[in-house]
Amino acid sequence: MLLFAQLAPHCWVAEVYNVLHDRRLEGRAAWTHISALRDDNMGLAFDCANCKQFKQYKKCIHMMLVQKDAHDHLIFSETYDPPCVLFKHTPPDSDGKSLSVFSASCTVHGQRGKRCFVIRKGTSATGSAWTCSACTHAHNCQHIKLSKSTLISLKVMPEWHGGEAAGQPDDEDEQQEFDPS
């Protein structure tokens, strides 16, 4: 099953699938943002950022899925645009590394309404490999900083390697509660 989710009233995220080779893509190319925008005639126009089909034909399966349920009054009446959303987080693999994928707002660069993907692979929030689809030259750009703080605030994993996720009981508490009888 492929991921398809609404992040805000005017923005969706979808997983890209290579139908020709029957496989999921990996890395930054594995995701696309679908945005509802106003065109010059104040009508509703869609953009599917990383989709090759949309770039070639100005229409794609992602846009067609959204278009049916997208209503003017729902998309443009709200101003909610979350700065950063964690929309995929996998449990640790055999190496103890988990994967997190974020959608971050590009407003830090003045690109209002645009979003980028931030991907983290590793064992902790700070001890992981981070990549940003918008800032490929920077290893710690504003989007990555925002994603790190979002991950830490969600308390789903330790902040540093060997640390504990906030809100988790420490070893002493677990030992006190354990009854061997």
The string of DSSP letters for 74-122 reads: HHHH-----SEEEEEEPPP-TTS-EEEEEEEE-GGGT-TT-EEEEEEEE
Tell me which range, 10-14, 52-56, 66-70, 91-95, is most confidently predicted by mean pLDDT: 91-95
Mean pLDDT of 47-51: 81
Across-strand partners of 89? 100
The model's pLDDT over 131-144, given as tens digits with 9 standing for 90+, comes to 998 887 777 899 99
Q: Mean of the per-residue pLDDT values for the chain?
A: 74
* Residues 6 or more apart whose Cβ sits within 8 Å of residue 31: 13, 14, 15, 16, 50, 101, 103, 117, 133
Helices (H) and strands (E) counted in the chain, each on its own, are 5, 10
Residue 168 confidence (pLDDT): 40
Q: Which residues pair with 120 in a beta bridge?
A: 100, 130
**Residue 96 is encoded by which pair of tokens?**
């103890």
pLDDT of residue 33: 86
pLDDT tier, 71 (very low <50, low <70, confident <90, very high otherwise): low
Is the distance from CB of 146 to CB of 83 less than 8 angstroms? yes
Strand-pair partners of 99: 121
Q: Where are the domains of the chain?
A: 4-77, 84-154
Tell me if 75 sits within 8 A of 36, measured CB to CB.
yes
This prediction's pTM: 0.66
Characterize the bridge pairing of strands 17-18 and 23-24. antiparallel
- Six-digit token string for 1: 């099953």
Instruction: State the sign of the Cα–Cα–Cα–Cα dihedral 106, 103, 119, 17.
Output: negative
